[in-house]
């Protein structure tokens, strides 16, 4: 005879409770483990960030010459990417442009150079013949010649640089020659480590070459520097005999000294609160002759016509540094030098550090300035 099984409800309930307790404890253990595992990631990251900004980056910047120079000159930043600078017409859309290589007097540095001919010379130039244009005919007119000295980073084909060349060479009110050079270590020039004196020497090589091409007509030359190139331009002209200086100098977004530029650079905001900011980030650049520029100290020796262009919303080189340089030029240049001129671009235009070429009034500003330089009037 089969017995009917009677299940004990209390036992079942106890089992359910035990299961529920074990599941709850498991969940609690998992929830407690999450903060612990998260803290294992977050705390080391915070410690690393703290050490990086307080010790690692400052120490590396002060005692590593390659890092320090790389950040100042930024010649490693090859922009635009995948473009052949030796073919300016096809790769950059620059009509009537010669690609040249000029060698330094000691034959140690080969400099990549573009010569953008003015719009009036288009008839002589086409894709097949511009490189064959005889050297003695390339500057065979009376148009002004702009020697352009670019800032750090990239090469002579940078977009804002290219657009300025087009404006200066192709605008109907200007039609100037443009000679744009890549310093050592930039573009397709000789791969040497850039230094302050090296950049100035390279600019001098091209300036002397230009004087030869123009048969000594320095009155046709305008030197235009942008950002770091403003220091190169000022140093170049300051070491040139006043009688051989160019007709005019244009400084776009200039700074007073490397010291001031570093203190005001956006990257410096990450380290400015460091108690030894000056020791780690300013002193190494200023005390090293290979990285120091003191434009304000050299501007007094620029005796030719001088114009400073600066946008108020420049976030890389503050507008105030351009103002200070203008004031220094006003106060320290000899009485025989024409008064400097400063043109300010309102921040509402959003030109920033590289966009002044977009200004609709710029062709007139340049044309008037160049005309006054040629006539000796201001």
pLDDT for the residue numbered 114: 97
Q: For residue 333, what are the contacts with CB-CB under 8 A and spacing of at least 6?
A: 299, 300, 302, 303, 306, 340
DSSP sequence for 152-163:
SSS-TT-HHHHH
Asked if 113 contacts 102 with a C-beta cutoff of 8 angstroms, the reply is yes
pLDDT for the residue numbered 22: 53
- Give, for all 378 residues of the chain, the pLDDT tens digit: 444 445 555 555 555 445 555 555 555 455 555 566 776 788 888 878 877 878 888 888 888 888 989 889 999 887 677 688 999 988 999 999 999 999 999 999 999 999 999 999 988 886 556 766 777 789 999 999 999 999 999 999 999 999 999 999 999 999 999 999 999 999 999 999 999 999 999 999 999 999 999 999 999 999 999 999 999 999 999 999 999 999 999 999 999 999 999 999 888 888 888 888 899 888 998 999 999 999 999 999 999 999 999 999 999 999 999 999 999 999 999 999 999 999 999 999 999 999 999 999 999 999 999 999 987 765
Alpha carbon distance 328, 80 (integer Å): 36
Alpha carbon distance 182, 148 (integer Å): 10
In the chain, residues under CATH classification 3.40.50.1820 are 77-257+287-375
| Bond before 189 cis per omega within 30 degrees | no
Q: For residue 192, what are the contacts with CB-CB under 8 A and spacing of at least 6?
A: 108, 109, 184, 185, 198
For the four alpha carbons of 170, 172, 178 and 180, in that order, the dihedral sign comes to negative
For the four alpha carbons of 124, 128, 130 and 135, in that order, the dihedral sign comes to negative
pLDDT for the residue numbered 229: 98
Task: Dig out the tokens for 83 from the structure.
Answer: 């473009």
pLDDT for the residue numbered 3: 47
pLDDT for the residue numbered 53: 78
Nearest Cα residue to 251 out of 228, 269, 268, 272: 228
Nearest Cα residue to 55 out of 63, 66, 43: 63
> What are the Cα distances from residue 202, in Å, to 153, 205, 257, 263?
16, 5, 20, 27
Task: Dig out the tokens for 64 from the structure.
Answer: 């590593």
CB-count exposure of residue 186 (10 Å: 0-12, 13-18, 19+): buried
Long-range contacts of 331-336 (CB under 8 A, 24+ apart): 332/299, 332/300, 333/299, 333/300, 333/302, 333/303, 333/306, 334/300, 334/303, 336/303
DSSP sequence for 325-339:
HHHHHHHHS-TTSPP
Which residues are known to be catalytic? 227, 314, 353
Q: For residue 335, what are the contacts with CB-CB under 8 A and spacing of at least 6?
A: none
Give the fold, CATH level 3, of 77-257+287-375: Rossmann fold (3.40.50)
pLDDT for the residue numbered 24: 52
Asked if 255 contacts 231 with a C-beta cutoff of 8 angstroms, the reply is yes
What is residue 354's three-state secondary structure?
coil
pLDDT for the residue numbered 34: 57
pLDDT for the residue numbered 374: 85
Place of tokens 């976030």: 315
pLDDT for the residue numbered 56: 84
Alpha carbon distance 52, 58 (integer Å): 8
Alpha carbon distance 319, 253 (integer Å): 8
Task: Dig out the tokens for 23 from the structure.
Answer: 């599941």
pLDDT for the residue numbered 204: 98
pLDDT for the residue numbered 21: 54
Asked if 103 contacts 110 with a C-beta cutoff of 8 angstroms, the reply is yes
Alpha carbon distance 129, 139 (integer Å): 16
> What are the Cα distances from residue 114, in Å, to 30, 215, 357?
67, 20, 19
pLDDT for the residue numbered 32: 53
Task: Dig out the tokens for 251 from the structure.
Answer: 């400084």
pLDDT for the residue numbered 274: 84
């Amino acid at each position: 005879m089969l017995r009917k099984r009677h299940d004990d409800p209390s036992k079942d309930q106890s089992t359910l409770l035990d299961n529920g307790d074990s599941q709850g404890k498991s969940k609690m253990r998992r929830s407690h483990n999450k903060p612990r595992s998260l803290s294992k990631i977050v705390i080391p990251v915070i410690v690393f960030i703290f050490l990086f900004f307080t010790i690692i980056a400052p120490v590396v910047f002060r005692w590593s010459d390659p890092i320090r120079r790389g950040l100042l000159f930024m010649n490693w930043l090859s922009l635009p990417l995948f473009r052949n600078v030796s073919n300016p017409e096809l790769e950059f859309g620059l009509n009537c442009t010669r690609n040249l290589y000029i060698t330094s007097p000691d034959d140690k540095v080969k400099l990549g150079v573009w010569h953008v001919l003015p719009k009036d010379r288009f008839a002589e130039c086409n894709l097949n013949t511009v490189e064959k244009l005889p050297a003695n005919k390339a500057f065979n007119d009376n148009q002004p010649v702009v020697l352009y000295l670019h800032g750090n980073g990239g090469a002579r084909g940078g977009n804002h640089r290219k657009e300025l060349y087009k404006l200066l060479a192709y605008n109907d009110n200007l039609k100037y020659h443009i000679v744009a050079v890549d310093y050592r270590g930039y573009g397709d020039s000789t791969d040497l480590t850039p230094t302050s004196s090296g950049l100035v020497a390279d600019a001098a090589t091209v300036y002397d070459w230009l004087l030869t091409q123009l048969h000594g007509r320095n009155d046709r030359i305008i030197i235009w520097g942008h950002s770091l190139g403003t220091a190169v331009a000022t140093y170049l002209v300051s070491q040139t005999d006043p009688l051989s200086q160019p007709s005019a100098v244009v400084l776009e977004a200039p700074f007073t000294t490397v010291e001031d530029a570093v203190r005001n650079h956006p990257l410096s905001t990450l380290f400015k609160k460091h108690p030894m900011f000056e020791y780690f980030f300013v002193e190494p650049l200023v005390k090293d002759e290979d990285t120091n520029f003191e434009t304000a100290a050299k501007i007094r020796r620029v005796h030719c016509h001088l114009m400073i262009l600066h946008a108020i919303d420049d976030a890389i080189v503050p507008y105030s540094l351009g103002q200070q340089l203008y004031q220094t030029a006003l106060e320290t240049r000899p009485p025989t030098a024409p008064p400097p001129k400063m043109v300010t671009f309102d921040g509402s235009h959003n030109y920033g550090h590289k966009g002044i070429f977009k200004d609709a009034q710029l062709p007139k500003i340049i044309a008037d300035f160049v005309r006054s330089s040629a006539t000796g009037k201001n």
